[in-house]
Structure 1
Amino acid sequence: MTSQTVRTVTLQEMKRKGRKITMLTAYDYPMALLVDRAGIDLILVGDSGGMTVLGYETTIPVTMDEMLMMTKAVTRAVKRSMVIADMPFMSYEAEPAEAVRNAGRFVKEGLAHAVKVERGWPSLPCVRAIVDAGIPVMGHVGLTPQTAVLQEGLKVQGRGRDDARRILEDAMALEKAGAFAIVLEAIPGVLARVITKRLTIPTIGIGAGPDCDGQVLVIHDLLGLFDRFVPKFTKQYADLAKVISDAVSRFREEVIECRFPDAAHTYSIDQETERALLDL
């Protein structure tokens, strides 16, 4: 693991050398601390935190203030990883000026290094405006959850010829608009391979096969902490939900059975003071 701070130029170098890019989500200080120390290149403060941390049914209700709170917690922990903040639903769609203001809040208040926006052609004006303001932008095409839940649901994209061509064109347009990287979500592997070869900027896959320049997962999916919605492309590397549940159950039992706290977890005083207290 290198101690070099990751930035957009680092990612370009990694793509050029064929070194895969790693990316995970984080929404709080302790998790970001662990992810950063593990050497993950990119940390996404995703609006998925609205579901995994805040308990919303979808990402739609997540607000700028909630995203800023999570972003601030993450950036306080990070020393090496590049932190990218998700622009929440309706924080950039209305007009480019508003998009720049909100992106600026993530950088100025949240201390994020970049922001991420969903969709292709509809987002191009705001992408150009944010980039022109000096803020790096990551794009996101394929399955775009912010709009998908309101339209057709969370389904694989790009299986048909016209749909695949549209996704490719969206990715190319985002690169031209100044995006430094693009997330490819829930698309066929062959389409992701074509896009990755066509673009000069890195692609980060999630459910897009092995040929992207990097891969991203939601940390709660990776750790087995969120089971309300488990996509096919998610791989669970640990079952922390069971570990935590077992630990909480043991605590409950030991308290009820008067086995915790025991002498090892209780403060003591000298015998003379103890006798004086008992005399009281």
Structure 2
Amino acid sequence: MTATGAALVLGATGTVGSRVVARLAARGSRVRAASRRAAPVDGAESVRFDWYDPATWASALSGMDRVHLVAPVDSATPADVMLPFLEQARAAGVRRAVLLSSSAIPAGGPAVGQVHEALPGLFGEWAVLRPSWFMQNFTGDHLHARSIREEGVIRTAAGEGRVAFVDADDIAAVAVHALTDVPAPCTDLVVTGPEALSHTDVAAVLTEVTGRTVVHRPLGHEEMRDRLAASMPLEYAAMLAGLDRANAGGAEDRTTDTVLRLTGRPASTFRDHVTRAVRPVGGE
């Protein structure tokens, strides 16, 4: 059973948020797409929202009864702004909150893990999506994707550790169910793809599908941290490099049936994703 209602989607122009908006709109749901520039979105109301400008919060929340939460980008302490917002959301009539977190961060863990821990005490209906690392990291606008396009190289501190990379389309499909299913999940949902791959495996698939040689070049933890710090705050870069190091030790070497269980269809494989997302060399 699904519920009707009005959903506020934060990060509505992002990798997952844009897909959540599109799926909700396709179902005929009332959806408000929130972003810092209030960019127009087909099938949705658009509103300006900035985590660091509380003056934008009330208009985003007005009339909404559920919210899809995406933490502020590059913040190692997102709870500082997210928890006051969630208090205001509850007071404004929001009944259900769905938080986009990470499979690498448990309740009470660093960064958004603090928000995860607080969520059940704030809302009677809730869910935390904990996806593995995105397949789009290799095909979109991520540092890895840019390095692949420019140099044919993936650099990580993950060694030969395996990760069950997941398609953002599958994450969004799970998010829509978490926002609309009755009863609400009221749990955390670890969302993975159907197979665990090393970054060397990822490079091999990219090479086979695109026809262009891609290789994985392992870095040390400090090398990876410093490379990331060139484009983001050092504290956040250190956290990401630490997650890579955890992956080297097998932290993400697992798969779940969450996509199949909630959506009724299997999760996409990495090869399927690359085939859809990347044009082969010489292709039309």
TM-score by structure 1 length?
0.37
Q: Which has the larger radius of gyration?
A: 1
